[in-house]
Chain A
Amino acid sequence: MDFSTQAIPRIDPRRPWVLGPSGLKRIVLGDDSGSRDAALLAHGPAHKPLRSSGPFSQRLLVVAHAERGQLDDAAREAIAAAAILAGKDGEVLALLYGMQDAAPEALAELAVDRALTVADPGYAPEQKLALLQQLLQQESPHTVLFADRSEDADLGRRLACRARLSVVTDVVEIAADGVRRRQPGAGFSLRERAQVLLLARGVAEAKLPFVGKGERLQTAALPAISEQVQDLGSAASPASQLALEEADLIVSAGNGVSNVPGFLALAEALGAAVGASRVAVDDGRFSRDKQVGATGKTVQASAYIALGISGAVQHLQGIKSCRHVIAVNLDAAAPMIKRADLSIIDDCQSFISAFEALVRRERNLV
């Protein structure tokens, strides 16, 4: 039989293809247009749609303080909660302290539709309250959301008490039938949705599939109102004197660190708190109160430098809320390397001495 004369319908698997409406790759017969590069699809920049283009008939306000020009996870979750609750005709308005340098794209990425960015004046509750009440009068949002931690929690409580708004603190769940808060010793309590909500961690998933408009109101200055309480300045106490849970910079040692005095000298030079993994604590190299992880302490430092720690799941649990993790390890396949934002593949002993010498030189300690 002569096969060459028979017309066999064949499809070249490397033909150009187009992305179908279901998101699947489609090869259209007889069509030469389309993409040939499969890698483009997998790793192309994720294009997120706009949440809602308006017109808006109602709005929610989120108030947040940024730290070093960036919002932390709690504040991001508060904005995400507002964006999810807003619906099609709801606008997400944000009053952000300390984010005056943020680009409109960054604001849009946060799912904020309109933002008022103000330089953070430090401790100025009366001025912040006056600006907030001014904003409430102008925009009349139906709900004001805060993250229930540090400055935001303070300002939220002040606002609720000053403006006599209904308030629910420690909100752990926002549902259709109301909001749930954690009640000490009594599980959850169900309340009606209030005008001011102070949100605990985990109320909303901070990762959103959409972006906001990211417009910016004209930056307003804080109204000049005299404060009852005077701010005499703040100081960060040296991390080495702090409890591990409170420290902002932690250097932590694991099994890879054999030269403990050298490690402690590095921590002192850096002004960092000392942590350790379970292995290092069990060995007796460090005391039990230094242990970080599921059976030890849960830390929330901005920077966590893990030296010679492979990163067991229990240890990673303890550093879940650390912003920047730097790992130094000989094993490039260790789980800690996957978690870390910066990984150095090196021997800990030589790295510690080099890093200590560098830090001492830079701080003029030698």
Chain B
Amino acid sequence: MKIAVLIAPAVHPVSGRPCAGEADLAALALAQRLSSQVDVWYAGAADDAALADYLARGATHIHTLALAAGREVLSPLAEALQDYALVLCGARAGGGDGSGLLPYQLAEQLGRALLPDVLDLSKSDQQWQALQALPKGVRRTLAAKLPLVASVHARAASAVGWSYARLQQGKIQRKAATGAALPQVVLEPARRARALVAASKVSGHARMQGAIAGGEGKSAGIVVKQGDSVEKAQVVLDYLRQHQLVDF
């Protein structure tokens, strides 16, 4: 089965140079585990040097849809990916907008089901089962039929290590493509974001009273000093059960 993997260069958090993104690498590693026919696709304005990290980390051949900067990649990508039954991509790119919207747009454009935040994929009977990562360690199993789009969670699996030989052997094939122009965005240096705060009409006196009393609920912490350790342990267990924090 042919699998398409979408990649995009990420911004290195320290040096700011382009590098391979964690989630995209995980998608590549997952695809290579599932099939031997893996096609790697990229659409955008990045040059070959920015994609070289992916060659060194296991991609043998990268198909690039070369677009001018500030063009939308969705329609050329959707056109190129129509014949693939399974499309994998990282849940979020570490570069560009990094909005995590592309898998959703692609699934919508191709009219396919989307499996979000996948950790693992496996085939059972006619269906594909995906293990989905949810916050706080919850794992959900989803099942769907092909064709599918799956976004792979950054925690999924690590790709192979960086290799100079693979970097030299890898090829990047460029093809010109066109996409609609995206609206211009204004970039600003990062600063501390200003939170929305509701205008409060209370007097200064009331505010001082509030400051003395502390935040609501915050000052209401229960302190248990009485009893021996066994009784105190029971208090803790009762608290955990009352707030449904344990399931026994």
Which residues of A does B touch, CB under 8 Å?
Answer: 22-24, 41-43, 46, 68, 80-81, 83-85, 123, 149-151, 153-154, 157-158, 160-162, 167, 169-170, 172-175, 180-192, 202-205, 207-210, 228-237, 239, 242-243, 246-249, 270, 300-303, 305, 324, 326, 328, 332, 337-347, 350-351, 353-355, 357-359, 362-363
Contacts and interface: CB of A to CB of B under 8 A. Distances in A.
A248 to B, nearest CB: 4
Contacts of A123: 140, 142
Contact of B16 (A185, A357, A359): A185
Nearest to B238: A342
Given A346-B229, A350-B229, A230 B144 contact: yes
A42 B203 contact: no
B16 to A, nearest CB: 6
Nearest to A326: B236
B165 interface: no
Contacts of A204: 195-197
A211 to B, nearest CB: 11
B83 interface: no
Contacts, number: 247
B191 interface: yes
A234 B141 contact: yes
B195 A239 contact: no
Interface string B209-241: 110110110000111110011101111110110
A166 to B, nearest CB: 9
A183 B202 CA distance: 38
Given A83-B198, A302-B136, A362-B237, A183 B141 contact: no
Secondary structure class of chain B's binding surface, majority of residues:
mixed
Nearest to B205: A23
Given A187-B191, A232-B141, 19 more contacts: A81-B196, A84-B198, A170-B98, A190-B187, A202-B195, A205-B195, A209-B202, A228-B113, A229-B114, A230-B144, A237-B137, A242-B137, A246-B136, A248-B137, A300-B136, A342-B239, A346-B232, A355-B233, A358-B237
Contacts of B114: 158, 229
* Main SS class of interface, A: mixed
A354 B230 contact: yes
A340 B227 CA distance: 19
A223 to B, nearest CB: 18
A46 B217 CA distance: 12
The 8 A-B residue pairs with the shortest CB-CB distance, nearest first, are A23-B203, A185-B11, A234-B140, A187-B190, A228-B113, A354-B229, A23-B205, A204-B196
B11 A205 contact: no
A154 B116 contact: yes
Given A24-B203, A157-B104, A209-B202, A183 B221 contact: no
A205 B197 CA distance: 5
A345 B228 CA distance: 10
B161 interface: no
